[in-house]
Structure 1
Amino acid sequence: MAQVVAALAAVVPFVAVAELGRVLLGGGAGAVWGIVWVAVGALGARFVLFFLAGGLTHLADADLQLDLRRRMAFRLGQVPLGWFGSRNSGVVKKALQDDVTAMHHLVAHSLLDLTAGIVTPVAALGYLFWVDWRMALVTLVPVGLGLHFYFRAMAGYGENMVAYDQALGRINGSAVEFVNGIAVVKTFGQSRKAHERFTRAADDFATFFLDWVGGVTKVSAVGQILLSPVVMLLVVLGGGTVFVTSGWLAAADVLPFALLGLGIAAPITTLAHTSEQLRAARLAAAKVAAVLDAETLAAPEMVGADPVDGRVSLRGVHFGYAVDAPVLRGVDLELAPGTVTALVGPSGSGKSTLAKLLPRFFDVTEGSVSVGGVDIRELSAEQLYRRVSFVLQDVQLLRASVADNIRLAVPEAEQSTVERVARAAQIHERILALPRGYDSVIGEDARFSGGEAQRVSIARALLADAPILVLDEATAFADPESESAIQQALSTLVAGRTLLVIAHRLSTVAAADQIAVLNAGVVAELGRHEELLVRQGLYARMWAAHERAGSWQPHTSPLETR
């Protein structure tokens, strides 16, 4: 309402000036000061109401952004951990920060702009029709033509924006591919081809964009010219001249059209820009809604009993990322407390998927996963992660101090405890070499290699001290120096725990208590290393291929030091 009154008040000073001119040109002077004071009062009211309306919408926008970010953060705390695996941090950051910010115009400005863009020209036209309806129709001619060309320019905007996003995505993808792979392509003398792929994507994008914008620019330029103040003034003066010379209109009555006719087109141009910003805000709102609608893990209605021990049981486990594409089918597996179970199998057999069900990255579609006799779906997140920890190859460190990264599982841990687990993880000396030691911030004055980051994650797991550990073989891609340090850290970490290992190199799990061989989502074989070799099945063939490849290296596996 404040903006409606403000928009009406914005028209009053122009009406007052027009009426003042009509009075003075008509030879009258009695009502001059009354008209002046009305104009001054309307101008003051307009500024007060305008700032009031703007302040209210900006406060509403701030409240909405805070509420959305809180709700999204809460939602992200409830989604399966696997949800993040299919999305990089940039996607989450964009939703939390950029997309919420993009909605600023929708809340803080769009309603005000739409209100002013409608009320102001309607009020001005109402006054002009009161002065002379025929001249008002003449004034509307360039407005109607300008709107016609504007709508022509915007035809197909939605489809073109989709194509624009896709073309931009292709050029971004080729740029990332080119930058990330430059060392490899230069090594093999293929930098020219890689550069050509990037150049081709850039040229395709430029061709599409120029074709789209070229057609739109010509039509929109005509519309903008028709709505420009110069054209509006020429139409008003030309039409006014005809009307005055024909005796249809007094000369003084042309003044209102010269003053207010120019102001009719400006709000329409504002509405055009506002509609574009509203489209962008609508797209951002859809992305925010997608995060808020993300499927969450079912929480237990009431917290159940604590697991009695570290025994893990998988019974009839079925799982698929899509309903019609099962990854695991009827898996039965028992992990006794304090034992090591290794998952091996061909690529795509479901090893990583099965291991991620235990820390509840996803929920099974059929069957159950239980810890200490309790289905993990009946455990609260706090109960589960007190008992299950994991160390994966893809290490994620937060933009926080090194100490806080280690303290994630136990925020109240004392500094001495943090340093103790860092020593056990073979990373203490490297942290001390940082500019601020344990207070150094990841990404600012603390940058770790892959092996060093892995040891920080091992220190984190040591501090968590969970009795069950899921280990995606952390040394698979480490250099020899890092591998030695990681092996020592893992030897400390795995001692006395129930361990589920995803094995990439068979030699590292030869000493496991049991080896589960997965193939096409089922447990094809189960037993110790020697037993599986005797059976001459899939595991024996994998082991033979492993030895032929010469990948076996005599080193100490952390499993052998338990």
Structure 2
Amino acid sequence: MKNNIFSKIAVFGQKYKTYFVVGIVLGSIGSLLNVVIPNMIKNIAALISQSLYTNVMDFDAIRVVAIKTAVVIIISFIASYFGAWCLTIAGQNMVKDLRSALNDKTDRVKMNYFDTTALGDTVSRMTDDCDAFSAAISSNLGKAVFSLIIVLGCLIVTFVINPLLAFCSIASILLGLFINASFAKMGTNAIKEQRRLLGNMNGMINESITGHMLIKAFNGEEEVLGQFDEKNQDLSRALFKSQFFISVLTPFMDFVSNFTYVVVCLVSGIMIILGKMQIETIVAFILYIKMVTSNLTQIIQALGSIQPGIACGERIMEYLELEEETDEGRENVSKTEGDVVFRNVRFGYVEGQIVLKDFSAHIKPGMKVAIVGPTGAGKSTLINLLMRFYELNSGSIIVDGVPIKDIPRSKLHDLFAMVLQETWTFKGSIRENIVYSTKNVDDEELEGVIERAGIKFLVDAMPDGVDTVLSETANVSSGQKQLITIARAMLKNSPIMILDEATSSVDTRTEKLIQKAIDDMTKGHTSFVIAHRLSTIKNADVIFVLKDGDIVETGNHEELLDAGGFYSELYKAGLDAT
């Protein structure tokens, strides 16, 4: 799986391969020059050792070797620095593209993913996981590779210097690495579980903050705190477990390093007594072993960051490989009048649980259609299918003579303007919130929409008018935000309008303002209105009464009341008061 992760994510680094190649080459040069340095120090030690026997210190020779050593150290530093710089640029740009890919993927993921996955988990993948993966590849991966080059180079040199001493040293190091690898494997699994629990925690925090007023209103603080404590305990245990496996690696490598020094000192001491090794050779050997153990420690530390990066990379790729919405549509609607046909539509969110059963209807251009029914009858589902947020199990939906499955999604969505129960405004000016994605809007057109939507009084009361930024400090009510979303739909001026319980959560005065704006907006447009309030329903051209996924009654308000059927029951039960 790990190899697959790196090979899949490597695709995002193709654009920056020049930086990667130059960085690796420069870093490798710096690492190999580091391997040469102990041998040059050995030459200095040999000259000094020789002077002990001859009583003559050759300062010129020592100066030449010392200058050469300094030059090698400087070149090694420059090469290593620019190598790391190139890898950082490549890594950061690669992660930037990865974030963009995650954001783009969000627009293509099937809607049922968001129905079954906590928002916090998705946000965690796009933020925390990307940051952890960035840390892994931007610096730590290069650090691990260059340290490995130094380790291999030093080991080769130690075998050339003294095979027996090198074998004894490597045996103790390999034993330590074997034990470390076991801890590292357990650490990776623990980190993956930690990231999953962190996503769940983020999801709960998001829900608690969003619904904090309801939590207080229902005295649910104790229950929420209990749930938070439980998730916090689980996350804390996972953090402890993952940190334990990571934190034990470096101290253990320190132990291995010290143990290796002891082995080297014992064996080399015996060899000096036997006259089989010179002191300068021991100096070089100890320096090489120190470089081996210190770079192994750096590798372990880098792996401590790479391991979470691998776990996060897996979560990122899981998201990028989610099933996407299909968009095989190639036809354009040549004549946009707003004629809509539902033909034997059958659909269920979950296999085996059908929400709409053989639904059929024909809405002519310019008709205002109200959709009513009890909770779970399939009202909002009908709109979701019309917008092709979900695919039908069977049947077809036809807009202006073209099945929606044959229309590209972007072209299909251009045919609709939506106003939902949950007002969606973003941090930006009133102008930006109204215009949104509509192109080429001039001030005169914008002012006309503001007037028609009934928010001129709001804009005039704002310090910067239409350029006032909507934020926490801007005193804008939920009803006023709803009027802004209606203005947005008006400006888009699509042939088909969708209003999903747009007046369900506002006061009577604001409802009248919204209703007036809705009547203006839907004039001359085909419109679908899902509502519980009589004021929204009674002036509809036709009312579809849904029950258990089927249309059980059709007609206008008076006709349905006279029929004394299910609609009449809903009306008497308080349809106009909800």
Q: TM-score range by the shorter chain?
A: 0.7 to 0.9
Q: 1:9 Cα shift?
A: 0.8
Q: 1:387 Cα shift?
A: 2.9
Q: Give the alignment partner of residue 462 of structure 1, picking from 486, 490, 508.
A: 490
1:27-106 map, 5 Å: 27=51, 29=58, 32=62, 35-69=65-99, 71-72=101-102, 75-77=105-107, 99-106=129-136
Preserved CA contact (<8 Å) 1:467 1:498: yes
1:130-529 map, 5 Å: 130-169=160-199, 171-172=201-202, 175-176=205-206, 179=209, 183-184=213-214, 186-187=216-217, 191-207=221-237, 209-210=239-240, 212=241, 216=245, 220=249, 223-227=252-256, 232-299=260-327, 302-381=330-409, 383-443=411-471, 446=474, 448-505=476-533, 508-529=536-557
Does the residue aligned with 2:87 lie in a helix, a strand or coil? Answer: helix
Preserved CA contact (<8 Å) 2:502 2:531: no
Q: Give the alignment partner of residue 7 of structure 1, picking from 5, 26, 31.
A: 31
Does the residue aligned with 2:441 lie in a helix, a strand or coil? Answer: coil
Q: Deviations over 1:351-400 (max 9, x none)?
A: 11111222332333422222222223333456434432111112222333
Letter in 2 for 1:129: F
Q: Deviations over 1:35-70 (max 9, x none)?
A: 435423432432343244334333433543454455
Q: Deviations over 1:401-424 (max 9, x none)?
A: 221221124231112321221222
Does the residue aligned with 1:313 lie in a helix, a strand or coil? Answer: strand
Stretch deviating more after TM superposition (434-443 or 8-17): 434-443
Distance 2:220 2:404 in 1: 50
Q: 1:454 Cα shift?
A: 1.2
Letter in 2 for 1:516: F
Q: Give the alignment partner of residue 18 of structure 1, picking from 12, 37, 42.
A: 42
Q: Which sections of structure 2, spanning at least 5 residues, go unmatched? A: 1-24
Does the residue aligned with 1:389 lie in a helix, a strand or coil? Answer: strand
Letter in 1 for 2:36: V
Distance 2:200 2:99 in 1: 30
Q: 1:298 Cα shift?
A: 4.2
Using the aligned pairs only, state the percent identity. 25
RMSD of equivalent CA atoms: 3.4
Q: Deviations over 1:267-298 (max 9, x none)?
A: 22222233343333334434444454454444
Q: State the match for 1:125 in structure 2.
A: 155
Distance 2:110 2:457 in 1: 35
Stretch deviating more after TM superposition (347-356 or 131-140): 131-140
* Alpha-carbon spacing, 1:275–1:536, altered in 2? closer, same or farther (3 Å): farther
Q: State the match for 2:572 in structure 1.
A: 544
Preserved CA contact (<8 Å) 2:191 2:242: no
Q: 1:312 Cα shift?
A: 1.0
Preserved CA contact (<8 Å) 2:121 2:199: no
Q: Normalising by structure 1, report the TM-score.
A: 0.85
Q: 1:5 Cα shift?
A: 2.5
Aligned residues: 548
* Alpha-carbon spacing, 1:350–1:374, altered in 2? closer, same or farther (3 Å): same
Distance 2:118 2:204 in 1: 17
Q: 1:140 Cα shift?
A: 3.2
* Alpha-carbon spacing, 1:118–1:97, altered in 2? closer, same or farther (3 Å): same
Q: Which sections of structure 1, spanning at least 5 residues, go unmatched? A: 554-562
Q: State the match for 1:114 in structure 2.
A: 144
* Alpha-carbon spacing, 1:253–1:382, altered in 2? closer, same or farther (3 Å): closer
Preserved CA contact (<8 Å) 2:192 2:311: no
Does the residue aligned with 1:326 lie in a helix, a strand or coil? Answer: coil
Distance 1:214 1:114 in 2: 20
Q: 1:494 Cα shift?
A: 2.0
Q: Deviations over 1:271-328 (max 9, x none)?
A: 2233343333334434444454454444456443413522111112223334444332
Q: 1:335 Cα shift?
A: 1.1
Does the residue aligned with 1:463 lie in a helix, a strand or coil? Answer: helix
Q: 1:82 Cα shift?
A: 7.5
Stretch deviating more after TM superposition (73-82 or 116-125): 73-82
Distance 1:175 1:78 in 2: 26
Letter in 2 for 1:164: Q
More helix by share: 2
* Alpha-carbon spacing, 1:162–1:121, altered in 2? closer, same or farther (3 Å): closer
Q: 1:112 Cα shift?
A: 2.3
Distance 2:117 2:477 in 1: 23
Distance 1:90 1:188 in 2: 23
* Alpha-carbon spacing, 1:493–1:304, altered in 2? closer, same or farther (3 Å): closer
Preserved CA contact (<8 Å) 2:188 2:242: no
Distance 1:329 1:243 in 2: 90
Distance 1:205 1:543 in 2: 50
Q: 1:217 Cα shift?
A: 7.3
Stretch deviating more after TM superposition (198-207 or 452-461): 198-207
Does the residue aligned with 2:577 lie in a helix, a strand or coil? Answer: coil
Preserved CA contact (<8 Å) 2:482 2:502: yes
Does the residue aligned with 1:321 lie in a helix, a strand or coil? Answer: coil
Letter in 2 for 1:117: S
